[in-house]
Amino acid sequence: MQDAVALLAKIFGADLGGIGRVVDGGKELMQTVSATNHQGAAANRRVQQSILSPENSMAGYALDVASPLVASDLVDEQRFCDLFLRKLGVQSALTVPLHINAEPFGTLGIYCKRPRQFSSDDIGFAETIAHLVTASAGRIQAEEELREQREFASTMMELVDSMVLILDVEGRVTKMNPACRQVTGFAIEVVREKLFCDVFVVPEEIDNVHGVLRRAVRDREPIAIESQLLTKNGTKRRVSWSLKVTCDEANNPQSIVLTGTELPGDAAWDGAAGKEPGEARRQFQPVDGPADDERRTSPRCTYRYSQSVAPMYDRVLPSPDEFFKVTCEDISAGGISFYLDQAPKFESLVVALGTPPKVTYFAADVVRIVEKELDGRKMHLVGCRFTGRISL
């Protein structure tokens, strides 16, 4: 937990980081708040143990509502009164609760002594780290009936089941956790100081991934992408990556943190989505005006990622379970193309672009079908024209 909150504090440039632990059978909360030096070690630690209650601490309130909590001004806060944090000079804060098997376990908190707004992406990244911590703690608890005073013997990277890679700002590998070593087959000694794109990215996606890494360093904003991971034995794994750039006190980028989750194989379309829709289904209504009727007159960009599509009949919106994964070829402002293992039996469809929870839906019409080989397989490249953005 301390490693996780130190990472969050460093990434967000917070003055303090804190962990809360539920103790005494769930009756009390032990809070530890400290500054973090450049080496990630805690300094100027402050500890308080109090009754676990949503009224007298931000951590207690976050555990009670079981969701991330943002406070922009602790002095004017009406939901709770956290005198402990106020005495430390904290003005704005983000606290994420930790639950294991629906039971409160603890909290991760980052605290600023100045006004600070936390974006939805900031909250999402903090939730991701919290999920990794609870997943690891839950596994330990199941195996060893987690003792209250257990100390984690290794860093968060060594505990999490997801793949974690640390790159320098040039994209060279500096660290990787055991899960990443197991999936890729590479030892850290083999790949250290080598470019991530040269080792782990398939040739056809190198330009795209390299561009994403450059954009992450430039914008200092979290990014989520999907790409094929190349392992030591040459096999390819589809992975969903979350990227976050860490910065120093002067906001200079220091490293790129990649957290990856291996995705299951793409679902092949088997015609099941061609069933007639029920009468209670909603009708398609564009949110934006229709796109230009011209065929892909806007510039095309290579887009070799996995996205979801669903057939649409009689302008009736598909249900969530009718979406299936496809491998895309390219994209433009006017349309997109993707591969199917058989010619589509539909003329209209809905395209879901993005990674949950940030997904944008577009209605589209099939305008072109071409037989083409993909990875040695005979496939059908389906070209679509966007007709409008929709809301599901």
pLDDT of residue 295: 46
- Is residue 190 located within the same domain as residue 252? yes
Output the domain CATH number for residue 74: 3.30.450.40
Q: Are strands 301-302 and 253-262 parallel, antiparallel or unpaired?
A: unpaired
Cβ contacts of 22 within 8 Å, gap of 6 or more: 28, 29, 30, 52, 63, 104, 105, 106
Round to whole Å and give the CA distance between 158 and 179: 8
Residue finishing a domain among 155, 171, 206:
155
219 shares its domain with 244: yes
Confirm whether 32 is domain-assigned.
Answer: yes
Residues 151 and 39 in one domain: yes
Residues 49 and 84 occupy one common structural domain? yes
Please tell me the predicted confidence (pLDDT) of residue 332: 72
206 assigned to some structural domain: yes
* Residue 267 is assigned to a structural domain of this protein: no
Q: What string of pLDDT tens digits covers the 392 residues of the chain? A: 787 888 888 888 888 999 998 888 888 899 989 886 555 455 678 888 888 888 889 999 999 888 899 998 998 888 999 999 999 999 999 999 988 777 788 899 999 999 888 888 888 888 888 877 777 666 655 555 434 333 433 344 554 567 888 999 999 999 888 888 988 999 999 999 999 999 999 998 988 898 889 988 988 888 888 889 999 998 898 888 888 888 876 778 889 988 888 876 533 323 323 333 333 344 444 444 333 333 444 455 667 778 899 999 888 889 989 999 999 888 776 788 999 999 999 999 999 887 676 677 888 999 999 998 877 889 999 999 888 778 77
Is 383 found in the same domain as 285? yes
Domain CATH number, residue 345: 2.40.10
CATH number at residue 231: 3.30.450.20
222 with 197, same domain? Answer: yes
Angle at 233 between CA 229 and CA 239, to 5 degrees: 15
d(CA 90, CA 110): 10
Do both 71 and 178 map to the same domain? no
Question: pTM higher than 0.75 for the full model?
Answer: no
Assess whether 143 and 170 both reside in one domain.
no
For residues 33 and 143, membership in a common domain is answered with: yes
150 and 166 share one domain: no
What pLDDT does residue 273 have?
32
Number of domains forming the structure of the chain: 3
Domain that holds residue 43: 2-155
Domain boundary residue, one of 224, 243, 262: 262
Please give the structure tokens belonging to residue 170.
């040039």
Q: Which of 155, 189, 219 is the last residue of a domain?
A: 155
pLDDT at 366: 93
Residue 72 sits in the same domain as residue 202: no
Same domain, 151 and 247: no
> How far, in Å, are 9, 37, 43, 56, 130 from residue 40 at the CA level?
9, 5, 9, 29, 18
